[in-house]
Amino acid sequence: MKIERVVKKVSSFVTQLGIVLIKAVLTSAIVGIVLVTAMHYMGVPVPSATELLRGVSRLANVLS
């Protein structure tokens, strides 16, 4: 009986963790899109997605 309760609690925890992760990713994406759109509207030069990914990969190489 104890094992079943532990499994149920762990399963519930993993489910809640997944929901929180999905919410965080969606919120970050929406905020990013809104910020980039606002910056573009104001005339601020916004780098393209490929330039941003290239910068992230360079940063990852430096930090590793």
Model pLDDT for residues 9-24, shown as the tens digit of each residue = 999 999 999 999 999 9
> For a pLDDT cut of 70, what percent of the chain falls above it?
98
Domain range spanning residue 51? 2-63
- What is the distance between the alpha carbons of residues 52 and 61, in angstroms, rounded to a whole number? 14
User: Domain tally for the chain?
Assistant: 1
Per-residue model confidence as pLDDT tens digits over 35-51: 999 999 999 998 888 99
- What is the distance between the alpha carbons of residues 18 and 20, in angstroms, rounded to a whole number? 5
Average pLDDT estimate for 55-59? 89
Q: Check: pTM over 0.75? Answer yes or no.
A: no
